[in-house]
Every structure is written in C-alpha cells, then in structure tokens.
Amino acid sequence: MDIKTLCLGILTSGEATGYDLKKRFEGTFSHFYTAGYGSIYPALADLAESEMVTCTEVTEQGKPAKKVYRITDKGTDSFKKSLGENDSPCHKLKSEFLAMMYFAQLMDPQQISGLLQHRLTHIESALEMLKTITAESSDEQQGPAFVRGFGETVLKAAHDYISAYKAEQDTTTSGHQAA
C-alpha cells in the first residue's frame, strides 16, 4: 500500500485538498504511516491523470486558491480491489530506539535512563493525541476505532514495559547516579 493508494482510501470518505490530506496523515495515520507534501501532491496528480479522482480548482475570497479532489467510481472500485488483493500486508517497525537499547552495555546508566525517559515522554504525548482525537469524533466508524484502539493498547503496553525497566534500572544504579 503506497501513499497513492492511501490517499485514494482517505478520499473515499469525502473530498479533500492536498493540504487536508496532510493533516489527516498527521492524525491517527501518523502512528502507522508518514507522508509529506513531497509525496502527497505528486500522488494526487497521478491519481487525477489515471482518472481515479477528479480535481476542481476552488477560489474562495480571503483564501488561497485550492484544488479539491473527489474520488470517482473507477477510483472507488480500484481501492476496494486493492483492499482485497493484498493478502499478506506488511507491518513493520523501524526503531532506532530499540537498536540503541540493544547496545545498552556500551552506554552509561544516565545515558540509558535518558533514552528511556525520552521514549516514555514520546509515548505519553502520542497517547494524549489519540485521546484528543477520540474526544473529537463521537461518530466513530469501526475501522478508525479499531486502529485507534490498537495504537492505544500497544502504546500502553510499551509504556508499562519501559517504565518498569527504567524504575528497576534507576534503583540498581542509584547511590551515585540519578536520572
């Protein structure tokens, strides 16, 4: 599933501009996909060229001109088909955090503690964000709800594990060092 397909998917729930899509990617999607303007705009251009979406230029007063994209029937069919085809979807993590922790024995205790703390803070803000999104959208559909719940569950588990390890680590190395 490349960015192009994902943009098409988001457009199944309504028209949007490239800018709108970027904001969507910064929400729930940010936990399992990333996309910048450098990938979104070319993707939309491609989709328009292959008639998966239509593009309407809109000029509103007091606002910059924008291009509103709307999915076509062909686009909807194509997206549904791509949901069916992919029977072994990839799901992979790329973590510098874990890579570094793997070499914990080469770091000193306060370095490790800092690294763990950094990750905990990161997880906390991610959880906070998910909570905010949940509060905003009361009309939750099954898909987004599942994904959000998945994110929360996994983040909480990671948080618990890291904080437990950190507490233990900070205790055993205390006496001369503090986090």
Partner DNA sequence: AGCGCCATGTAAGTGGTTACATGATTGT
Partner DNA sequence: ACAATCATGTAACCACTTACATGGCGCT
Interacting residues toward DNA by CB under 7 A: 2-4, 17-20, 23, 34-39, 41-45, 60, 62-67
Q: Is 91 in the site for its own copies (CB under 8 A)?
A: yes
Q: Whole-number minimum distance, CB 82 to DNA, in Å? A: 13
Mutual orientation of helices 18-26 and 37-49 as an angle, nearest 10°? 130
Please say which residue, 95 or 153, places its beta carbon nearer to DNA: 95
Q: Is 141 in the site for its own copies (CB under 8 A)?
A: yes
Say if residues 177 and 166 touch (Cβ distance below 8 Å): no
Please say which residue, 56 or 121, places its beta carbon nearer to its own copies: 121
To 5 degrees, how large is the angle CA 112–CA 113–CA 116?
85
Cα–Cα distance measured from residue 179 to residue 163, given in angstroms and rounded to the nearest whole number: 13
Please say which residue, 58 or 74, places its beta carbon nearer to its own copies: 74
Q: Cα 117 from chain centroid?
A: 22
Please say which residue, 2 or 51, places its beta carbon nearer to its own copies: 2
Cα–Cα distance measured from residue 1 to residue 122, given in angstroms and rounded to the nearest whole number: 27
Residues 117-136 binding its own copies (CB under 8 A) are 118-119, 122
Cα–Cα distance measured from residue 115 to residue 60, given in angstroms and rounded to the nearest whole number: 48
Q: Whole-number minimum distance, CB 176 to its own copies, in Å? A: 18
Cα–Cα distance measured from residue 132 to residue 111, given in angstroms and rounded to the nearest whole number: 32
Residue 39 binding result from DNA, its own copies, none, given CB thresholds of 5 to 8 Å by partner type:
DNA
48 contacts: CB under 8 Å, gap ≥ 6: 54, 55, 69
Interacting residue ranges for its own copies, rule: CB under 8 A: 1, 6, 9, 12, 28-29, 31-34, 79-80, 83-84, 86-107, 111, 114-115, 118-119, 122, 141-144, 146-147, 149-150, 153-154, 156-158, 160-162, 165
